[in-house]
Amino acid sequence: MLAKYATFIALPVESVRLIVKLAKMKILKWVTYSATIMQNTAAYTEILAGLRFEKDLIRQLLREDIMQESVIYQDILQKGEQKGEQKGEKKEAFSFCLRLLNQRFGELNSSIIERVRVLSVDQLENLGVALLNISQTSDLLAWLDELERS
pLDDT of residue 66: 62
Of 69, 97, 126, the residue that ends a domain is: 69
pLDDT at 30 over 90: no
Parent domain of 53: 1-69
End position of a domain, from candidates 38, 69, 100: 69
Question: Higher model confidence: residue 82 or residue 19?
Answer: 82
What is the percent of the chain where pLDDT is above 90? 45
Q: Is the pLDDT of residue 7 over 60?
A: no
pLDDT of the residue at 20: 62
pLDDT tier, 62 (very low <50, low <70, confident <90, very high otherwise): low
In a domain, 78, yes or no: no
Query: What's this model's pTM, rounded to 2 decimal places?
Result: 0.55
Q: Is the pLDDT of residue 127 over 90?
A: yes
Handedness of CA 36, 42, 48, 51 (dihedral sign): negative
Residues 65 and 128 in one domain: no
80 inside domain: no
Confidence check: pLDDT of 95 > 80 = yes
- What are the start-end ranges of the H helices in 50-118? 55-61, 64-69, 71-105, 110-117
pLDDT band at 22, cuts 50/70/90? Answer: low
What domain count does the chain have?
2
